[in-house]
Amino acid sequence: MTEWANVQVTAATLFTIDDSGSTVCTAIASHYMDGVQVFLLITNPERRNEGFATEVILRILEHYNLTKVYLQPKAFADKPMSDNDLFDWYLSFGFKAEGNMLVKYPE
């Protein structure tokens, strides 16, 4: 069974997906300039390509639907995706490039 948890930690919120008692995907959103910044979107390597990262991003965008959401995509060392693929993946959610950041504006 998949379970969600949003935990407020100081000025940051941890978004997680747990499945069968194990965390499979997590990300942190923290106040940043005039919005929030998402960082450390991580999926358990054994559970990649199951849509968990997509679920987390959609959950974050829903949670912060009235503010700007910033992120700076960078693939991890084990390179499950190239930096370019990761960049394109975020663009598919409506993020726009602004300098070295991607920004999703409220709709």
pLDDT tens, per residue, the chain with 107 residues: 566 666 555 578 999 999 988 999 999 999 888 999 998 899 998 898 899 999 999 999 999 999 999 999 887 777 678 888 889 999 999 999 998 899 999 98
DSSP codes joined into one string, 38-101: EEEEEE-GGGTTSSHHHHHHHHHHHHTTTSEEEE-----TT-SS-HHHHHHHHHTTT-EEETTE
* Contact of 92 with 58, CB cutoff 8 Å: no
Q: What's the predicted TM-score (pTM) here?
A: 0.83
Q: What is the pLDDT of residue 100?
A: 85
